[in-house]
C-alpha cells in the first residue's frame, strides 16, 4: 500500500545515504510511521488515526500526522482514500461534540472518567481546544489545493463547517454565551478549569476563547493567541470552500466576518512591548491587560506562526517573538549538553520536545540552523531511530512516549523538505504545502 510514499522515501533516503547513513535510516523509520502503525481504514469509508500509544483519535494529531503525505494524495488512490476517510470521520465526530478534543473508534465509553459534565460514549476527552476546530479545516483545504477533488465535500463536511463557525462565535463571548464547562478532580491544576469549570474571566476582544492548549493543559488566560492565529488562516479557507463547494454565501460571509474580528483582536490585544525584544506576540491574554509570556512546544505555537500561515518568517513582530521564545526569557526554553529548545509544562521540567526543534527548523530561513537542528534530532533518539514526545537535553535516554507518531511524521516532513532544498520559513511556501 501507499507505493508513492515508499518511492519518495527511497528517493530521499538514497540521497541522504551518501552523506549520512544514520540520517537516512532515521528518515526511513520516521516518515512512514503514521501509515505503518496508527491508521485504520473502516468499513464505513472513514479512517481512524491514533496518535501512537493512546488508542484515541485526536482531531489535531490525526490531521497533523497525515499532512506530510498530502502532496501525493492526488496520484496515490490508497492515500487519497485514507485522507478522505480522515476528513469524513472528523466531520462526523465534530457533529457529535464540537467541544471534544479526542474520540473513540466506537461508542465504547473509553477515556477519562469522572469528568464533569459527563462525556458521551464516543468521546475520549472533552477538553475544548480551539485548534481542534482548526485542524480539520486545514486538512480539507490542503486536500482540495493538492488534488482538486470535490467529492470529499459532502454534506457532513458542510455541516462541520457550520458547526465550527457557530462554536467559534459562541466562544467569542465565552463568559456570556457559552454553556461549556470542564472539571476534573484529584488531578494537577493543569488538567481542569477553575471557577466551577468555567475558566478565568475574559473580556470581549473579537478573539475566540479556548479552555485548553494543544498540549491538553489548561490555559492560564482564555485567549490563546497562536490558536486564534490558526483560526484566522482556516476561516479564510473555510469562507472560500463554503462558497465554492456549497454555494453557501451566508456561511462564507460569517466566516469572513469572524476572521476579521479575530485578527483585530490579535493585533489589538495580543501584542506586548517587551523591554529586551521589542513588540512581540504574547502566548495568552484575557483582554483585560494580563499576559502570559511563554511558548509551548505544541502546535499551534508562537514559533509556528509562519508554518500556520498567519505571518511570514520575515515579519518583524514574528522575528521579535521568535527571538524571545528561543531565549531564556521563555520559561519553557531549556538547554543541555545535547540540545537546546522549547519544552512544555505538560512534560517533566527541563525536557525539550522534538516537535519544537522540528518547528524551529521548518520556520527558519537559515540553512545552517536547519542542518544543526536535523543533526541534533537524529542524534537524540536514544538509539531508537524514532522521535519522542520529549527528552532531557543532558540525557536523551530519559524521554517520554516512545511511540509518538506526530513527531515522527513531522520530522519526516522537515527532512524531506530539507533534502529537496524546499525548507523555507515563508508563509507562501508553508501555507500552500
Q: What is the pLDDT of residues 19-67, one digit of tens each?
A: 899 999 999 999 999 999 999 999 999 999 998 889 999 999 999 999 9
Residue-range domain boundaries for the chain: 1-30+326-433, 49-293
Residue written as cell 461508542?
107
Residue that is written with C-alpha cell 478549569 in the block? 193
**pLDDT confidence of residue 298:** 96
Question: Hey, CA dihedral for 112, 115, 121, 123, is it positive or negative?
Answer: negative
Selection from 407, 417, 414, 415 nearest residue 37 by Cα: 407
**CATH topology classification for 49-293:** Glycosyltransferase (1.50.10)
Average pLDDT over residues 402-424: 87
The average pLDDT across 118-124 equals: 97
Residue pointed to by grid coordinates 468499513: 43
Say whether pLDDT at 430 is over 50.
no
**pLDDT of 424 above 60:** no
Top pLDDT among 324 and 15 is at 324
User: Predicted confidence band at 415 (pLDDT cuts at 50, 70, 90)?
Assistant: very high
Asked if the model's pLDDT at residue 268 lies above 80, the reply is yes
Q: What percent of the chain has pLDDT over 70?
A: 97
For the segment 171-181, the average pLDDT, to the nearest whole number, is: 98
Q: Assign 274 a pLDDT band (cuts: 50, 70, 90).
A: very high
Nearest-angstrom CA–CA distance, 30 and 32? 6
Under DSSP, the state recorded for 352 is B
Computed from CA positions of residues 386, 389, 391, 393, in that sequence, does the dihedral angle turn out positive or negative? positive
Q: Say whether pLDDT at 425 is over 60.
A: no
* Confidence (pLDDT) at 423: 52
pLDDT score for 422: 56
pLDDT of 247 strictly over 50: yes
Task: State the cell numbers at 143.
Answer: 486536500
Residue 394 clears pLDDT 50, i.e. is over it: yes
419 pLDDT more than 90:
no
1-7: long-range pairs with CB below 8 Å, 24+:
1/35, 1/78, 2/32, 2/35, 2/69, 2/76, 2/78, 2/79, 2/82, 3/76, 3/78, 4/72, 4/75, 4/76, 4/79, 5/31, 5/32, 5/35, 5/69, 5/72, 5/76, 5/79, 6/32
With cut-offs at 50, 70 and 90, classify the pLDDT of residue 207.
Answer: very high
What are the pLDDT digits (tens) for 342-365? 999 999 999 999 999 999 999 999
Q: Which string of b and e fits 393-412 if b means at least 16 CB within 10 Å? A: beebeebebebbbbbbbbbb
- Which helix (H) or strand (E) is 281 found in, with range? strand 278-281
User: Residue 420's pLDDT is what?
Assistant: 82
Amino acid at each position: 500500500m501507499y507505493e508513492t510514499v515508499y518511492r519518495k522515501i527511497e528517493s530521499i533516503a538514497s540521497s541522504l545515504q551518501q552523506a549520512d547513513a544514520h540520517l537516512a535510516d532515521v528518515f526511513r523509520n520516521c516518515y512512514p510511521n503514521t501509515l505503518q502503525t496508527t491508521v485504520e481504514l473502516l468499513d464505513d469509508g472513514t479512517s481512524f488515526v491514533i496518535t501512537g500509544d493512546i488508542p484515541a483519535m485526536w482531531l489535531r494529531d490525526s490531521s497533523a500526522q497525515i499532512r506530510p503525505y498530502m502532496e501525493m494524495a492526488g496520484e496515490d488512490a490508497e492515500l487519497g482514500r485514507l485522507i478522505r476517510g480522515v476528513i469524513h470521520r472528523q466531520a462526523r465526530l465534530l457533529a457529535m461534540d464540537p467541544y471534544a478534543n479526542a474520540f473513540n473508534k466506537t461508542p465504547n465509553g473509553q477515556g477519562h472518567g469522572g469528568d464533569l459534565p459527563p462525556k458521551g460514549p464516543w468521546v475520549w476527552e472533552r477538553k475544548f481546544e480551539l485548534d481542534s476546530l482548526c485542524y480539520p479545516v486545514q486538512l480539507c483545504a490542503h486536500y482540495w489545493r493538492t488534488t482538486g477533488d470535490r467529492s470529499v465535500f459532502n454534506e457532513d463536511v458542510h455541516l462541520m463547517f457550520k458547526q465550527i463557525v457557530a462554536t467559534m462565535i459562541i466562544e467569542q463571548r465565552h463568559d456570556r454565551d457559552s454553556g461549556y464547562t470542564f472539571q476534573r478532580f484529584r488531578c494537577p491544576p493543569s488538567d481542569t478549569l477553575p471557577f466551577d469549570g468555567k475558566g478565568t474571566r475574559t473580556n470581549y476582544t473579537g478573539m475566540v476563547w479556548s479552555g485548553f492548549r494543544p498540549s491538553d493543559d489548561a490555559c492560564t488566560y482564555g485567549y490563546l493567541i497562536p490558536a486564534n492565529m490558526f483560526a484566522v488562516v482556516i476561516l479564510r479557507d473555510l469562507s472560500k470552500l463554503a462558497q465554492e463547494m456549497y454555494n453557501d454565501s451566508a456561511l462564507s460571509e460569517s466566516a469572513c466576518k469572524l476572521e476579521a474580528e479575530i485578527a483585530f483582536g490579535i493585533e489589538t490585544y495580543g501584542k506586548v512591548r517587551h523591554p529586551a525584544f521589542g513588540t512581540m506576540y504574547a502566548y495568552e491574554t484575557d483582554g483585560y491587560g494580563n499576559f502570559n509570556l511563554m511558548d509551548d512546544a505544541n502546535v499551534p505555537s508562537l514559533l509556528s506562526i509562519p508554518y500556520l500561515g498567519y505571518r511570514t518568517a520575515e515579519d518583524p513582530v514574528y522575528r521579535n517573538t521568535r527571538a524571545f521564545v528561543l531565549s531564556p526569557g521563555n520559561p519553557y526554553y531549556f538547554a543541555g549538553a545535547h540540545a537546546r529548545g522549547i519544552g512544555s509544562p505538560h512534560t517533566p521540567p527541563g525536557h525539550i520536545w522534538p516537535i519544537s526543534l522540528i518547528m524551529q527548523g521548518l520556520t527558519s530561513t537559515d540553512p545552517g540552523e536547519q542542518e544543526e537542528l536535523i543533526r541534533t534530532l537524529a542524534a537524540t533518539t536514544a538509539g531508537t531511530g524514532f522521535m519522542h514526545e520529549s527528552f532531557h537535553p543532558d540525557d536523551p535516554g530519559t524521554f517520554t512516549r516512545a511511540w509518538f507518531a506526530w513527531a515522527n511524521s513531522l520530522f519526516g516532513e522537515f527532512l524531506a523538505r530539507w533534502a529537496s532544498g524546499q525548507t523555507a520559513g515563508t508563509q507562501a511556501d508553508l501555507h500552500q504545502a
